[in-house]
């Protein structure tokens, strides 16, 4: 009986001293990735961009991720995702649609957390309209990407016209 009680006491002690169980959560943030991809041609939209502030705004987001726990072959991916989330936080904070010319600095805090600092100009899209022949000057600036093609269609080698 003493052995059973001693064994139970050891089990309780080991359980009490072990690390707490952490719940892992997942969050994903995306922006402007919901374009139509049904294999049809959609009339291009053109919009103006209104800059909301003539001086850059700045903000920082600290992620409760110990940088030393990220495998070195995954650090670039983690930094990229954290930059997206920090930009999303900033867009929401300034009630903007985009941050124009964002500059990012990635550092670690004294505690070892990842900190993303962003500065840029908040902007809103306005005056949405269908593209017309007057907008064809923009065509050479874009590559048309077909996910079924091996290369982007270069607009310089493609006869593209926009008709009203």
| Structure tokens, 98 | 């985009």
pLDDT, tens digit (0-9, with 9 covering 90-100), for 90-139 = 999 999 999 999 999 988 888 888 899 999 999 999 999 998 888 888 77
3-state secondary structure of 67: helix
Mean pLDDT of the chain: 76
Task: Write down the pLDDT at residue 164.
Answer: 42
Which regions of the chain does DSSP assign to beta strands (E)? 45-51, 57-66, 98-108, 113-130, 143-144, 153-154
| Structure tokens, 126 | 């306005």
Lowest mean pLDDT among 10-14, 17-21, 147-151, 157-161: 157-161
């Amino acid at each position: 009986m003493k052995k059973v009680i001693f064994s139970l006491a050891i089990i309780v002690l080991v359980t009490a001293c072990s690390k707490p169980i952490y719940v892992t959560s997942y969050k994903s943030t995306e922006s402007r990735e919901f374009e139509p991809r049904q294999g049809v041609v959609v009339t291009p939209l053109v919009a103006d961009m209104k800059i909301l502030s003539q001086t850059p705004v700045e903000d920082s987001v600290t992620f409760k991720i110990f940088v030393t726990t990220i495998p070195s072959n995954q650090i670039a991916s983690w930094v990229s995702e954290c930059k997206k989330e920090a930009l999303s936080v900033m867009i929401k904070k300034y009630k903007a649609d985009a941050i124009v010319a964002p500059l990012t600095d990635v550092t670690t805090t004294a505690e070892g957390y990842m900190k993303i600092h962003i500065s840029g100009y908040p902007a809103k899209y306005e005056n949405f309209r269908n593209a017309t022949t007057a907008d064809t000057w923009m065509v050479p600036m874009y590559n048309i990407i077909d996910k079924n093609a091996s290369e982007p269609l270069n607009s310089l080698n493609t006869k593209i016209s926009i008709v009203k």
